[in-house]
Structure 1
């Protein structure tokens, strides 16, 4: 079994930018969202300003929310706190990160949440299966993962639904 822990280091500048949420164990807030993207912008005060876009099933309108992602000092930027509503903060651990920052897996110390995100709207099937296997080995219930299927950008031959 693999240990559920943050990666050794995250480069703040490389992590910034747009991410496509591909699969997640949803939270109370996002359990009906699809086609979700998150864009991280470094704020002058040292946190990420997060702009999340999403759709609700059977609706074409894109909706959005703003939030903050705050680095926990002394964690090499791999442990953060997500803040959607002040003063509540949720643990956000970077538990897997591609060397080239092409994909990331965000977890939780108590396995409550899991999110697989990529710089592109899809991941190759073999890579996704490898990621899912490691998540399961870290103690996550991958049967709870929900697809964030990016319908307008799905490419033939790549996993796009659960």
Structure 2
């Protein structure tokens, strides 16, 4: 999920020119250097190319998902709990995206975007490789405002899903319920190890007071 995703989907981060932007670039550079020295990078670098699941029925995938775990990232640092994503198919084949979370002061935060089938996707997949945009529609022609959204694990009954992107930099674990069962959690983690992810980076995300959402789509 590349350009600054928000919640379990990519978004666009816009920063004005000036000292604040230069300082942010310096922080990003330092963070990148620290990551390059971390043991987890070797695991990712040695892993084979990441593969999405072969097929996702986007009608079944639609509805409410709870974010139950993730790789922490800067663009979600304001979300301390109760992060959710709601996906609604549109007649034109795109998907309306609503991401919500709760800030440290208890106030809700929300971002609206759109997802589409990826313009370039690995062969033999259907519906599991998407691109997501939270930038304004008039910027949609710019390729860098679209972030990769790959479904890399999916339960047979769509009760949980795991989302990442080719570089493995970002990772989200989504569930139809606010918490995974112990068996599902163990299954997901075992598969993530096999897929070349560093589980020491995976952080559980609290679901304490879920925000009001649309009803979950029937599986």
Choose which of 70, 87, 91 in structure 1 pairs with 2:116: 70
The answer to whether the 8 Å contact 1:2/1:137 transfers is no
Give ranges in structure 1 of 5+ residues lacking alignment: 154-162
- Cα distance in 2 between the residues matched to 1:125 and 1:32: 28
Query: Counterpart in 2 of 1:152?
Result: 209
TM-score normalized by the length of structure 1: 0.85
Give ranges in structure 2 of 5+ residues lacking alignment: 1-46, 211-219
- The alignment status of 1:56 with 2:106, answered yes or no, reads no
Q: Structure 2 matches for 1:4-153, cutoff 5 A?
A: 4-33=50-79, 34-57=81-104, 59-72=105-118, 75-85=125-135, 86=139, 87=142, 88-152=145-209
Paired residues, what number? 152
Distance change >3 Å, CA 27–CA 71, structure 1 → 2: farther
- Cα distance in 2 between the residues matched to 1:98 and 1:9: 12
Higher helix share: 2
- Cα distance in 2 between the residues matched to 1:135 and 1:2: 13
* 1:118-150, Cα deviation, whole Å (9 max, x unpaired): 110001122202201211221112222222210
Distance change >3 Å, CA 69–CA 118, structure 1 → 2: same
Deviation at 1:2, TM superposition (A): 7.9
Higher strand share: 1
